[in-house]
Amino acid sequence: MAKKKEEEVVEEGAEGKKSKKGLFIIIIIVVLLLGGGGFGAYWFLLRTPPLTAEEIAEIEAAKQPEPVILPVFALKPFVVNLADKKSRRYLKVTMKLELSTEELLEEVDKRRAQLRDVVLTLLSSKTAVEVGTLEGKFLLRQDIIKRVNVNLLTGQVTKVYWEEFVVQ
């Protein structure tokens, strides 16, 4: 009898090990199937397809604001004697002023004489050496913008464009 009990215990232990192994294998298979199903659902249902070059270009174009074309006011040409002491040098300049608003066009037109006086005074105070270089022209632009803006009430001059710039 003791042998029968030992054999039953041995058989139960072997069956317990087999059933635990089988259960473990079944759990692994279920986990793999669930993981595969979840990945498949993501891949086919939730994933966004890659963008085409045209779609990327449209997105970039939408991000960039529309360029704003500001009004421009043309001044009559200026011919001035430069402040050179040793020789007579002349400067002929034709320029346009870029304005911050459309309403400023009317004010600039009304103050045309005042603005021309400010620019004439500034131009005649410069020497040929000061206005002859690229840096000198850039600084002259900045000076014109500062001095003209002091006289304006409804907006500002944002840029100065040279149409003609001759030192003789």
Mean pLDDT lowest among 55-64, 95-104, 141-150, 151-160: 55-64
3-state secondary structure of 90: strand
Residue 98: Cβ-neighbour burial (10 angstroms; 0-12, 13-18, 19+): middle
Mean pLDDT of 63-88: 89
Residues 6+ apart with CB under 8 A from 46: none
Q: Tens digit of pLDDT for each residue in 87-135?
A: 899 999 999 999 999 999 999 999 999 999 999 999 999 999 999 999 9
Topology at the third CATH level for domain 72-167: Tetrahydropterin Synthase; Chain A (3.30.479)
The Cα–Cα gap between 146 and 130 comes to 18
